[in-house]
């Protein structure tokens, strides 16, 4: 019988300091269009060289409902070890229902189109979650051709001079031995992280870090799926943003990651990414 492994943690933090992380960024009654562009660079990788990614998101928030559609395309130049360059497309829809001012239910679905990696091409990702105040939990199930991935995310957010989010991710790979893509991966992973954000008038500053190994993980609240067979052990992110006008803002982020290519046991891989977001509200 297949088992779904779930980690449950009860945060022992006084409720009078709670706050929803996204409260400050709520745009109830309006819609956003976000365009993003990202540069990718791989060092010490035997399969990937460099690449770029672009995407578009439509985000509409009402009194009770919040719905987001996201399309993403990634193109990566590969090494001579790989027969052709990599092209990946991902489609994501996320729906949140506001029970009241403090509680929300979340549903998510994403699918992957990968021109090289047959074991994950056509993969489907499902998510269901619940949040109350500053605490949230979401369960993801990633269904691939020969193996499945179960992930539990816990997050506690609170506000102050610097908004802070504490994050824990537990990942379990089911039937990983059936695929050469996943058989050398660990059966279980746990990674923890922290995100920081502060703003003054139209200026936004942020940063974050993840520690502890992870593979085949769902990141960025469901909008990023690391579906290739690469094991990350450390990640560091810094970013800044500026509101050019009332309805227009730009954001820039830099990320540095230490990783290992699992099937060929190639450790020492370094991944860098530089991304730009343009957000228009109407």
Kindly state whether residue 6 falls inside one of the protein's structural domains: no
Q: Tell me what pLDDT residue 25 has.
A: 58
Predicted TM-score of the model (pTM):
0.88
Tokens of 220: 């960025």
pLDDT of residue 176: 84
Domain membership of residue 148 as a residue range: 16-281
Mean pLDDT across the stretch 134-150?
97
Reported confidence tier of residue 145, pLDDT bands at 50, 70, 90: very high
Give the model confidence (pLDDT) of 96-130 as tens digits: 999 998 999 999 999 999 999 999 999 999 999 99
pLDDT at site 41:
98
In a domain, 3, yes or no: no
Structural domains in the chain (count) = 1
Q: With respect to residue 110, please indicate whether it lies within any of the assigned structural domains.
A: yes
Q: What is the CATH number of the domain that holds 42?
A: 2.40.160.60
> Does residue 9 fall inside a structural domain?
no
- Residue 1's pLDDT is what? 43
Tens digit of each residue's pLDDT (9 = 90 or more) over 2-11: 444 433 333 3
- The answer to whether residue 66 scores a pLDDT higher than 90 is yes
- Domain membership of residue 264 (yes or no) is yes
Q: From CA 215, how far away is CA 223, in angstroms rounded?
A: 16
Residue 11 is predicted with a pLDDT of 38
């Amino acid at each position: 019988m297949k088992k779904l492994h779930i980690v449950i943690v009860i945060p022992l933090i006084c409720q009078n300091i709670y706050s929803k992380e996204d409260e400050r960024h709520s745009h109830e009654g309006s819609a956003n269009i976000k365009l993003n562009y990202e540069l990718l660079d791989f060092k010490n990788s035997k399969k990937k060289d460099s690449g770029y990614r672009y995407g578009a998101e439509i985000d509409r928030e009402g009194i009770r409902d919040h719905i987001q559609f996201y399309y993403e395309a990634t193109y990566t130049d590969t090494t001579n070890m790989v027969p052709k360059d990599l092209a990946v497309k991902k489609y994501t829809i996320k729906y949140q229902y506001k029970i009241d001012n403090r509680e929300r239910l979340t549903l998510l679905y994403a699918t992957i189109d990968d021109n090289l990696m047959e074991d994950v091409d056509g993969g489907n990702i499902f998510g269901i979650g619940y949040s109350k105040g500053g605490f949230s939990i979401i369960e993801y199930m990633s269904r691939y051709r020969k193996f499945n991935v179960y992930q539990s995310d816990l997050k506690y957010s609170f506000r102050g001079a610097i908004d802070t989010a504490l994050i824990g991710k537990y990942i379990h790979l089911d039937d990983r031995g059936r695929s050469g893509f996943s058989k050398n991966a660990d059966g279980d992973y746990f990674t923890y992280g922290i995100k920081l954000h502060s703003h003054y008038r139209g200026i936004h500053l942020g940063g974050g870090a993840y520690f502890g190994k992870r593979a085949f993980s769902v990141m960025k609240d469901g909008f990023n799926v690391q579906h290739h067979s690469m094991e990350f052990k450390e990640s560091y992110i810094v970013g800044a943003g500026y509101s050019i006008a009332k309805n227009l803002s730009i954001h820039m982020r830099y990320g540095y990651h230490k990783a290992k290519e699992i099937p060929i046991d190639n450790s020492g891989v370094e991944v860098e990414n530089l991304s730009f977001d343009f957000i228009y509200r109407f």
